[in-house]
Amino acid sequence: MSEPPRRAADPWNETTITAAEEAGIRELARLLELRGQGEDQTAIRAAYLDLLQIAPGERVLDVGCGTGVVTRAVATRVGPTGHVLGVDPSPTMLAVAREIAEREGVAEQIEFRVGDARALPVDDAAFDVVLAITALSHTTDAEQAIPELLRAVRPGGRVGVFDIDPESWIISHPDRALTRRISAAATDIITDGWLARRLPGLLEAAGLVDVRVRAFTPVERDPTGYYGSLAPMRAAQAVQAGAVSDEECERWLAALRVEQAANRFLAGLTHLFIWGRRPA
């Protein structure tokens, strides 16, 4: 009888990220900032914040804020009369977020607080807008967070969730069969890799109205960018899950390096943005 497949840990899950060594979390923080500064990511962030119509003076909650890439972008929109609260389970991530906010001169409008998406440390109806950006798919029992998002937003306020669809991973690689195995294994490592597909229904069931969905697919050709860094991580996760062998992983990475050296590298991932309004 064959052994059941192993379940590797999602490195972005709240239990993993709070238990990890500080050096490991700071490496994840570096990747978040690298992703956030990508040309496509910057344009996409502006687009979904535009869809939420965030205005000067508003109060905004960023759930699972990480290093505060989105928190800082929101702070520039709400201006000195507004306020942004970033909540994250990792004190180390929040320490990085504070450092960067200070450096970029937006710390006055931002507060960071340790907290869990499933039990937000905020008052009822305290915010005009509530965001969760690439956070819920990495949260255990993430469906418990949906009512919390609506609880935190005022009647008539807006909720927006931007999350990954990991099975949509795009990468240019000559070995299709091995790439598919690595992709499937890495997808299954995500705590809830299909959450984004279910979010419109979950948000409507929780009471959100005027729910809409838009897909965004950032891609990169620079092998030193975020998706270039993500590819070896995905291959290593596939080994950890028992989906590929060490030898297969190294063979796949060697072929990837050839693609990169020949300027044929391309990688990306589709994200879904789901947003709506709490009834007044």
User: What's 106's DSSP letter?
Assistant: -
Question: Does residue 84 belong to any structural domain of this protein?
Answer: yes
Whole-number average pLDDT of the chain: 95
pLDDT range class, residue 187, cuts 50, 70, 90 = confident
pLDDT digits (tens, 9 = 90+) for 217-257: 999 999 999 999 999 999 999 999 999 999 999 999 999 99
DSSP tally for the chain: helices H, then strands E: 10, 10
On the question of pLDDT at 124 being above 90, the answer is yes
In single-letter form, the type of residue at position 4 comes to P
Distance CA 191, CA 211 (A): 24
Query: What is the total count of domains within the chain?
Result: 1
Q: 3-state class of 121 per DSSP?
A: coil
Q: In this structure, what CATH number is given to the domain that contains residue 141? A: 3.40.50.150
Question: Does residue 175 belong to any structural domain of this protein?
Answer: no
Question: Does residue 26 belong to any structural domain of this protein?
Answer: yes
Distance CA 236, CA 186 (A): 9
Give the H/E segment covering residue 36. Answer: helix 22-36
Strand order in the sheet with 83-88: 110-114, 83-88, 59-63, 127-133, 153-164, 271-277, 209-216
pLDDT digits (tens, 9 = 90+) for 42-68: 999 999 999 999 999 999 999 999 999
Q: Tell me which residue range forms the domain holding 155.
A: 14-169+191-219+270-277
User: What's 2's DSSP letter?
Assistant: P
On the question of pLDDT at 19 being above 90, the answer is no
Q: What's the half-sphere exposure (Cβ side, CA atoms, 13 Å) at 112?
A: 26
User: Tell me, what's the pLDDT at 4?
Assistant: 42
Residues 6+ apart with CB under 8 A from 3: none
Question: Does residue 147 belong to any structural domain of this protein?
Answer: yes
